[in-house]
Amino acid sequence: MIEHPIPPLYDENSKILILGSFPSVRSREVQFFYGHPQNRFWKVVSAVLDETVPQTIPEKRDLLLRNHIALWDVIAACDIRGSADSTIKNVIPNDLSIILDSADIKEIFVNGKTAEKYYNKYTRDIIGRHSVCLPSTSPANAAWNTERLTGSWRRILIVNEINNFVY
């Protein structure tokens, strides 16, 4: 059983929650989300927000918090071989109340079908909130290039526009 080593990223101003499934081997090594250089999360989110792609962990944290975005994963612990989502077994879900009790989250997005699967199985009914599934930024999702991903991920802007957030 591997435990999730990265604490949730959020503050009291967070309005959007983006959930992945479980950190990759590389993300666990660097102790931060989407640490594999081939994962397109940081490129896509930066493009959506019309910002420079952050390079350091402090820059990544600042980008998200400045834009009212919280980030975590659905799974707190599981058995997994390497970084392969298809091998995930014995899931223990994260307790999202840590974020939901502290921030006024308007919308929950999941990064890919695996995150959606485990969110729907373990979390949705407990917290009584649906999620919006966005296409995975993982390099394993080769059917979606960065431009196409960015177009789909622009949905997160709608939440901010409805709530009149200023960047």
Q: What is the pLDDT of residues 102-156, one digit of tens each?
A: 999 999 999 999 999 999 999 999 999 999 999 999 988 888 999 999 999 999 8
CB 109 within 8 A of CB 132: yes
Domain extents for the chain? Answer: 2-162
Please determine, for residue 165, whether its predicted confidence score (pLDDT) is greater than 60. Answer: no
SS3 call for 69: strand
Please report the pLDDT score of residue 86 as a whole number. Answer: 84
Please give the model's pTM, rounded to 2 decimal places.
Answer: 0.92
What CA–CA distance (Å, rounded) separates 24 from 42?
15
Helix (H) or strand (E) holding 120: helix 113-122
Q: How far apart are the C-alpha atoms of 123 and 94, rounded to whole Å?
A: 8
**Annotated catalytic, 94?**
no
CATH superfamily of 2-162: Uracil-DNA glycosylase-like domain (3.40.470.10)
Q: What percentage of the chain reaches a pLDDT higher than 70? A: 95
Judged against a pLDDT cut of 60, whether residue 167 lies above it is answered with no
Q: What is the pLDDT of residue 160?
A: 59
| Region class of 31: left (phi > 0), else alpha (psi between -120 and 50), else beta | left
CB 21 within 8 A of CB 85: yes
The pLDDT, as a whole number, for residue 14 is 96
Which listed residue (13, 39, 90, 94) is catalytic? 39
Segment 53-58 mean pLDDT: 96
